[in-house]
Amino acid sequence: VEDVIEQADYLYGSGETEKLYRLLVQHKNSDDAELLWRLARSSRDLAQLGSTSAEEKRQLTYDSLEYAKKALEKNESNFAAHKWYGICLSDVGDYEGIKTKIGNAIVIKEHFQRAIELNPKDATTIHLIGIWCYSFAEMPWYQRKIAATLFATPPTSTFQEALRYFHMAEEADPNFYSKNLLFLGKTYLKLNNKKMALLWLSKAKEYPAQTEEDKQV
């Protein structure tokens, strides 16, 4: 198992998405949470590729949630399993409609918070809670109405709360992710602080683009 994980991390670092998936999918019946969450991540990465067909993308998205769920069953105290379960559950919501997406929101946030309890230094998970807060802060009125029918007290957030998480993520690991810089800028814009928005958006623009996502940012 350790050899496979070492190989997998090397391939992940090299951006070898397809090779990594082929390596890990052979171990989909493993009982090792470390292997399973990596398989969930790699299935998701493969789904995100432009060359993946819509049908394959859908299948991979549902597969990745299954792998993340299995990782959690095998080891509840694995922070990455919680993190990827939250991410994959959110992705599946894109196929299930807005009602399911909002319905899953509280579960997703709970898994992100559990991941941070288990690993307070993980900047990506802190960033993801920021994204969660941002999404609820800018939620349109009709979605708020859906949320109000689903929950006794529907989830809400503010741009100030989102900003706090994006800054916490930056403190945990400065300059770790182009999207965190982008969202710092976007959140400052929402709060009408153009000077700070410009500062962070400039950093996002100058970020060395290594992935497809960096280029989009």
Q: DSSP of 105-137, one letter per residue?
A: HHHHHHHHHHHHHH-TT-HHHHHHHHHHHHHHH
Is 67 part of any domain?
Answer: yes
pLDDT of residue 21: 97
Q: Which of 84, 93, 195, 194 is nearest to 135 (CA)?
A: 93
Is 72 part of any domain?
Answer: yes
pLDDT of residue 214: 86
Is 144 part of any domain?
Answer: no
Low-confidence ranges of the chain (pLDDT < 70): none
pLDDT of residue 49: 87
Provide the domain limits for residue 80. Answer: 1-119
The enclosing domain of 34 has a CATH number of 1.25.40.10
pLDDT of residue 15: 86
Tally of domains in the chain:
1
Is 49 part of any domain?
Answer: yes
Beta-carbon contacts of residue 183 (< 8 Å; ≥ 6 apart): 127, 130, 131, 134, 162, 166
pLDDT digits (tens, 9 = 90+) for 138-189: 999 999 999 999 888 888 999 999 999 999 999 999 999 999 999 999 999 9
Retrieve residue 99's tokens.
Answer: 């009602």
Residue 52: CB atoms within 10 Å:
17
Is 77 part of any domain?
Answer: yes
Taking the C-alpha atoms of residue 121 and residue 124, their distance in angstroms, rounded to an integer, is 9
Taking the C-alpha atoms of residue 61 and residue 44, their distance in angstroms, rounded to an integer, is 6
Is 211 part of any domain?
Answer: no
Quick check: 61 and 92 in contact, CB under 8 A?
A: yes
Is 65 part of any domain?
Answer: yes
CA atoms within 13 A on the CB side of 187: 27
- What is this structure's pTM? 0.92
pLDDT of residue 50: 86
pLDDT of residue 176: 94
Alpha helices in the chain (DSSP H): 2-13, 17-25, 33-48, 54-74, 79-96, 98-118, 123-137, 141-150, 159-172, 178-190, 194-206, 212-216
pLDDT of residue 153: 85
Quick check: 67 and 33 in contact, CB under 8 A?
A: no
pLDDT of residue 211: 76
Is 162 part of any domain?
Answer: no
pLDDT of residue 137: 96
